[in-house]
Structure 1
Amino acid sequence: MHEWLDSYEARDWQTTGEGTVRYALVGLGWWTTDVALPAIEGSDLGETTVLVSGSAAKAERIASEHGVEHGTDYDGFHDGDHEGAYDAVYVGTPNATHLEFVESAAELGKPVICEKPMEATVERAERMVEACESAGVPLMVAYRMQTDPAVRRARELVESGFLGEPVSVYGNNSQPLLEMIPNEDQWRLDPDLTGYGTSVMDLGIYSINTTRFLLRRDPIAVQSRLSSVGEPFDDVPDERSSFLLALEDDVHMVSTASQNGYEDTRLQLTGTEGRIELRPAFHGECSLHLARDDRSVSIEHDAFGAEEEMREEFDYFADRVLTGAEIHPDGNHGLTDMRIVRAIHRAGERDASVRLRE
C-alpha cells in the first residue's frame, strides 16, 4: 500500500510564499466570526482589514475585539467605504444576498471568494459570473474540500489508478440543524433566502462537488426523492433528500442529505480495483480510508478541522490573486453545481429523471 502514498505533497497548489491579501469579510454570522476570521488570522498570505455587517455597530464591535482596522454596514460597503483598505472580498451572507455584494465588489475591482452555494437560483448565479467577467475580476466559489489535504490526496490516488476504473459513489451529509442553531426562523429554512431548498443546497452540494473534483466527471442525468415531515421544515421541500446521479462514463452516484438527522458525513468511491472513503468527510477532521488488494489503511490529519480547511482555502485564493494564476473552482464551476441542484429539485417535483445535458 505504501507505494501509493509516498509521493504526497500537502500544498501541491502553492506557487508563492510572499505577499499579503487584505480581506473585507461581508456577513458576520457564526461561520465568519468563528471559522473564517480565525482561519485568515492563521493563514500565511491573508489579513482581515474590514468587517461588514447589517449593523455598523456590530461590525465595529467585532472589529475591535479581533484587532481589525475597520467596520462598516452593508450600505457603506456598497458605497465603497474603506475600499482602499482591502484587496479582496469574502461573501458569507445568506444565499439569496450573495449577488448584490459580488456585484458591488466587482464594480470596485475586487477579487471575490463567495460561499457556496453561489446564490439562491441558477439565474442569479449566472448574473454573478457575468458581473465578475465584465469587470475582469476573479470569482472563486468557496469549496473548502478542494484544498483539504485528505481530499487532494484522494484525487492524486484516483488519478494514479488506485481505484482502477471508477464504478460507483456513495455520499451522505446530515446534521441536526435545529440543535446547532435553535431558531425555527433562521434563514436556512426560509425559501426566499436559501433558494431551492435546505438540505441539498446546504449539505448535499458537498457530496456533489467533492465527487466532481475527485473524479473530474459531471452528472448527465438525475433522479431524486425529497420530503419534509417536521413542522419547522414546512416551507422547504427537502428536510430529507436522496438523489441518484448518472455521471460521465457511466459512473453511478447515490447520495443522501438531511438537515434533521444525526451528524454523519461520508463519501465512498469504489472502482474495479480499490475503494477510497472519506469518513468523516465534510464537517472538518476529514479522514481517508483506503482498501486495495485485500489490504486497508487509514490516514488522519491531526487537528485539521473546519478552521484549518478554511485556512487552506484562503491561502489558495490569495496565492492565485497574488500571482494572477487561474482560479479553480471559479464561478462557472459553481454554476454547474447550481444547475445540478436545480435539476435534483425538478426531478423530485416531477418524480422523473431530469437530464442535465444531451
Structure 2
Amino acid sequence: MSAAEYLDSVRVRDWERLDSGTLRIAMISLGWWTREQAIPAVADSEFCETTVLVSSSRDKASAAAAEIPTVEAALSYEEFTDGEATEEYDAAYVCTPNALHLPYAEAAAEHGKAVLCEKPVESTRERAERLVAATEDVPLMVAYRMETDPQVRRMRELIAEGAIGDPVAVHGSMSQQMLETVSGDADQWRLDPDLVGYGASVMDLGIYPLNTARFVLDADPVSVTAQMRSADEAFDDVPDQHAAFTVRFDDGTQAACTAGQHAAYTGHFRVVGTGGELTLEPTFLGQPEQTLTLASDGRELEVADGRRDVMRDEMTEEFDYFADRVLREAPIYPDGDHALVDMRALEAIYEAAETETTVSVS
C-alpha cells in the first residue's frame, strides 16, 4: 500500500469487531458538553442509545428527556446513586465537574454498570486512584476521545512504522475563550479549585496534547517543566489562565505544549522526526474538519477526515468504541491505569510551575 492509499484509509475503524448490539447509556450531568456533544454523538452512533438522564433534579432531567425519544428514565443525582432505574441502562457516562467524578463512577460500579468517565479522571491524583480502585470490577474507560480518532490512530501507526524516522519532538496546543464558550460568565466550575482540581487550563485543555503525545509515541512522561500565569480577575483562584509546559518521555522524545482558557479557539498537534513530520490541524476541537499531513522526502501527503461527508465525529467514535468493547467483553484502552499516568503528570506539571524546577513524574 502506498503512503497516499494508507492516508486514504484514515476513516476506517480499525478497532471495530461488533456486528450488532446496543449499549444503553445513562448520561450523568446535563451540562453543555453532554447536551451539545455527547447526546448528539450517541444519537449518531451505531451501537449506543441514551436511555437515562441524570441531573440535579428529576424535573431538570425530565425536561431534557422530553427532547430525546429513547430516554426511559429521568433521575436526580440522589436517585441514581440510590439505584433507581438500574434496569434501564448498561453503562454510565460521567460528565460532572472533575471532583464529582468519583461518587457517580463509584455508584455506577456498585450497580454493576460499565463506566465511561470524562477526562481528567478526577480532580487530584489521590481521588483518581480511589476512582480506579472503586471501578476495578466493572469496565472503565476514560474519555480520551483523541485515542479513538481515526487520524490520531493512523499517526500512531505511521510513527511506529518509521514513516518520519525516529520521533524527536512534539508540539501541541489548545486554547479557547472559556467564559464565552462554556458559560458566558465567571460563575464557572473550572475556576473553582474545589471542583476543577489543580488548575483550569492544563487540567482541561493541556491534557489533550499531553495524552495524545503519549498515545502516538507509545511512551510515558518521565519529567516536566512548566510556567503559568493568571492575569484576569476571573482566574484569581487558579494558577493557569495561560500555561506552557514541556515533557520528556521515556523514549527520549520531548514535547512543548501550551494551553489557555482566554485565547482564540484553536488547536494543533505536530510530531517531528529525524526523517519527516506529521501534523494534525486544527485538532482537539471536536467539531471542525481536521487535516492529517505527512511530510517526508520533500513531499507532502494530506487527507481531511471527511466529517462533512459522514455522520461521525470524535465523540461518536468514542462511544461506539466503548460499546464495541463492553458488549464484546473485550479489554478497554484507555483504562484507569492509563489515566493515572496522566494524573501523575498533571500533578507534576503544577508542582513544576509552582517551584520553577524540573519535576519527575512518579
TM class by shorter chain equals: over 0.9
Q: 1:308 aligns with which of 300, 309, 313?
A: 313
Assess if the C-alpha contact under 8 Å between 1:38 and 1:307 holds in 2.
no
Q: 1:317 aligns with which of 308, 317, 322?
A: 322
Q: Secondary structure of the residue that 2:66 maps to in structure 1? A: helix
Report what 1:262 is aligned to. 264
For the residues of structure 1 that align with 2:39 and 2:6, how far apart are their CA atoms?
36
Report what 2:204 is aligned to. 202
Q: Quick one: which amino acid aligns to residue 349 of structure 2?
A: I
Assess if the C-alpha contact under 8 Å between 1:177 and 1:260 holds in 2.
yes
For the residues of structure 2 that align with 1:217 and 1:240, how far apart are their CA atoms?
26
Q: 1:289 aligns with which of 293, 305, 319?
A: 293
Q: Once the two structures are superposed, what CA deviation does each residue of 1:281-324 show, in whole Å capped at 9, x if it has no partner?
A: 10023321220000112211222699721111000000000111
Matched, 1:328 2:330: no
Report deviation, 1:41.
1.0
For the residues of structure 1 that align with 2:311 and 2:56, how far apart are their CA atoms?
25
Assess if the C-alpha contact under 8 Å between 1:287 and 1:301 holds in 2.
yes
Report deviation, 1:7.
5.8
Report deviation, 1:6.
6.0
Q: Quick one: which amino acid aligns to residue 150 of structure 2?
A: P
Aligned residues: 355
For the residues of structure 2 that align with 1:170 and 1:42, how far apart are their CA atoms?
32
Q: Secondary structure of the residue that 1:314 maps to in structure 2? A: helix
Q: 2:355 aligns with which of 325, 350, 354?
A: 350
Give unpaired runs (5+ residues) of structure 1. Answer: none
Assess if the C-alpha contact under 8 Å between 2:7 and 2:303 holds in 1.
no
Report what 1:103 is aligned to. 106
Greater shift, 248-257 or 281-290, is seen at: 281-290
Report deviation, 1:2.
2.4
For the residues of structure 2 that align with 1:351 and 1:306, how far apart are their CA atoms?
46
Assess if the C-alpha contact under 8 Å between 1:188 and 1:198 holds in 2.
yes
Assess if the C-alpha contact under 8 Å between 1:17 and 1:45 holds in 2.
no
- The ranges of structure 1 where at least 4 consecutive aligned residues each deviate by more than 6 angstroms after the TM superposition are none
Report what 1:171 is aligned to. 172
Q: Once the two structures are superposed, what CA deviation does each residue of 1:241-267 show, in whole Å capped at 9, x if it has no partner?
A: 001111112111110000011112001
Relative to 1, partners in 2 of residues 1:7 and 1:179: Cα closer, same or farther, differing over 3 Å? Answer: closer
Assess if the C-alpha contact under 8 Å between 1:199 and 1:241 holds in 2.
yes
Q: 2:40 aligns with which of 31, 38, 41?
A: 38
Relative to 1, partners in 2 of residues 1:73 and 1:7: Cα closer, same or farther, differing over 3 Å? Answer: closer
Q: 2:125 aligns with which of 118, 122, 126?
A: 122
Assess if the C-alpha contact under 8 Å between 2:7 and 2:302 holds in 1.
no
For the residues of structure 2 that align with 1:244 and 1:65, how far apart are their CA atoms?
44
Q: 2:64 aligns with which of 56, 62, 67?
A: 62
Report what 1:277 is aligned to. 279
Greater shift, 21-30 or 307-316, is seen at: 307-316
Q: Once the two structures are superposed, what CA deviation does each residue of 1:59-86 show, in whole Å capped at 9, x if it has no partner?
A: 0111111111210100000011100110
Report deviation, 1:152.
1.3
For the residues of structure 1 that align with 2:44 and 2:18, how far apart are their CA atoms?
17
For the residues of structure 2 that align with 1:33 and 1:263, how far apart are their CA atoms?
20
Report what 1:222 is aligned to. 224
For the residues of structure 1 that align with 2:307 and 2:330, how far apart are their CA atoms?
30
For the residues of structure 2 that align with 1:30 and 1:9, how far apart are their CA atoms?
28
Q: Quick one: which amino acid aligns to residue 313 of structure 1?
A: E
Q: Quick one: which amino acid aligns to residue 326 of structure 1?
A: P
Give percent identity, aligned residues only.
Answer: 51
For the residues of structure 2 that align with 1:6 and 1:177, how far apart are their CA atoms?
35
Relative to 1, partners in 2 of residues 1:307 and 1:163: Cα closer, same or farther, differing over 3 Å? Answer: same
Q: Once the two structures are superposed, what CA deviation does each residue of 1:205-247 show, in whole Å capped at 9, x if it has no partner?
A: 0000001110001110001001111111000000010011111
For the residues of structure 2 that align with 1:306 and 1:143, how far apart are their CA atoms?
20
Assess if the C-alpha contact under 8 Å between 1:35 and 1:310 holds in 2.
yes
Q: Secondary structure of the residue that 2:141 maps to in structure 1? A: strand
